[in-house]
Amino acid sequence: MQLQSPTSLEVKIGQMLLVGFEGLTAPDYVLEWLRAGRIGGVILFARNVESPEQVAALTGSIHAAATYGAIVSIDQEGGTVARLREGFTQSPGAMALASARDGEALTEEVSAVLARELRALGIGWDYAPSVDLTYTAANPSVGTRSFGSDAETVARLATAAVRGFQREGVAACVKHFPGLGDTPIDTHMAMAVVDTPVEHLLQHDLVPYRATIDAGVASVMITHVIYSALDQEYAATLSPVVVHKLLREALGYDGVVTTDCLEMRAISDHYPPRESAVLSALGGMDAILFSHTRAWQEQAYDGLLEAARSGRLPLDVIDTANRRMLAFKQAYAGPPGDLHLIRATEHLRVMRAAARAGTTLLQAGTVLPLTDKDSVGVVEFASILESGIVENGGVTGFARLLKQRLPDARVLTLMSTDDPSAAEALAGQVDTLVLAVRNAHLIPEQLASAQRVMARAQRTALVCLRNPFDVTALPGADAVLCTCGDAEPSLEAAVAALLGDYVPEGALPVEVAGV
């Protein structure tokens, strides 16, 4: 794709900005910004998604409006982090793929399927894979998004993901540089300060970055964390030391570097949009992301333009970023294509096979396989995405799938903060309890309720639908199954394993205490 090169300062500044918005169609102001060159692309969220046809119409309007081309981006890691769910091919996440015996081949194949569908939808940039190492069960941000705790394994699987995405024409983005695994705080909520020595980063966290850079990864996302051994003042997103010295010079990377969203509180609690945008550009960012608020997006643009006109933001910094973004868009931007690819039979087969391969049976006991000879109760702690179903008295995904196979099973779904009394009663009335939890070790209310429910059960099959660390927090189950994610194929794989359709052969890529 040949795109028009920007010449005016106003357009050059715009090409460095990506924005998000509300709604299933692009607002008039976003389309006008694209026509004027005031933004270089957009990011889509679940709030922008209804169906494949709607997404294709949305991205088609964005590409048609963009005088200088537009890159459409999304967080579609697979597993827990996915904006495209119902009506699209869903995939197991990183930790599930790393649990599979043939994880490298499956990771490449799964990533290629995701990319094929993204391109069909007119989306050319996926903020995936996450290459953060797992250091601790207490990390609130990484969890099943990680390929595990071993740097070489993460590097190998991340490189496979990059190959899969980019061979199908979607830019991969490794994140969160220089590593989020040892961070105790969710940067959506606050700034974290990490004192990891540089030598440790080089020997561990940066190993996957070296490997994916060597493999030609198209982009790198920088995290909102202060690494005091590198820069005691600025978060990595705003730090010339982290970007220029470490990423550009030490690792030799010359591709696109992007911020995470600058509306996250780790940044927005400390800097207004005008200043965070300028600092990130001075720090070495090619793409500057404001995902939500129009007023902040306007302030960011105005701040960058003012800094450029005053000389605070040098023209050569702007031109270098524009060079990279233009080449990036020429390689990966494009309109929607064949929607028949969405949920193609082969795509679904790949994901189902990968989900089964990534399911781990830690303990079978005498409970499995489940049969209709014994009375079975199912208690599922639902995902926040399904809170509306719970509020309306409905049955959520895992419990619904299991009841389809065991019609006589008694099922109950609840949120972490709900009164567990009904679940306790159910547990005491059945021969076998299937207890499905989601990150109970991080959610005190869920953990307390799950413990109460388990205490009433005769026999328990514990199903960990998110982090496997729930196993340690909930000891005493007769059978233990870990899916490392709760996307559609992983839920299907869990039900199939419980009923004996196959014997899971996965092995967790992290150490779980007590296992």
Please provide the distance, in angstroms rounded to a whole number, between the alpha carbons at the two ends of the chain. Answer: 52
- Burial label for 295, CB within 10 Å (0-12, 13-18, 19+), is exposed
> Tokens 């964390």 label which residue?
225
Distance between CA 146 and CA 161 in Å, rounded? 12
Distance between CA 193 and CA 185 in Å, rounded? 9
Q: How far is CA 480 from CA 147, 170, 265, 471, in A?
A: 21, 37, 37, 8
CB 334 within 8 A of CB 2: no
Which of these is catalytic: 132, 231, 260, 286? 260
Q: How far is CA 395 from CA 9, 88, 233, in A?
A: 55, 21, 49
Distance between CA 169 and CA 220 in Å, rounded? 17
CB 419 within 8 A of CB 363: no
Q: How many CA atoms lie within 13 A of 305 on its CB side?
A: 16
Please indicate whether residue 260 is annotated as part of the active site.
yes
Distance between CA 426 and CA 435 in Å, rounded? 11
Backbone angles phi, psi at 194, to 5 degrees: -120, 135
Distance between CA 211 and CA 155 in Å, rounded? 6
Bridge-based pairing state of the strands 479-482 and 460-464: parallel
Please indicate whether residue 63 is annotated as part of the active site.
no
CB 140 within 8 A of CB 185: yes
Which of these is catalytic: 188, 244, 270, 292? 188
DSSP letter at 456 equals H
DSSP letter at 241 equals I
Residue 200: which of 222, 214, 182 has the closest Cα?
182
Q: Pseudo-torsion of CA 196, 202, 203, 205, nearest 10°?
A: 70
Full 3-state SS string of 126-185: ECCCECCCCCCCCCCCCHHHCCCCCHHHHHHHHHHHHHHHHHCCCECEEEEECCCCCCCC
E-state strands within 396-507: 410-414, 432-437, 460-464, 479-482
Backbone angles phi, psi at 467, to 5 degrees: -65, 135
Residues designated catalytic:
188, 260
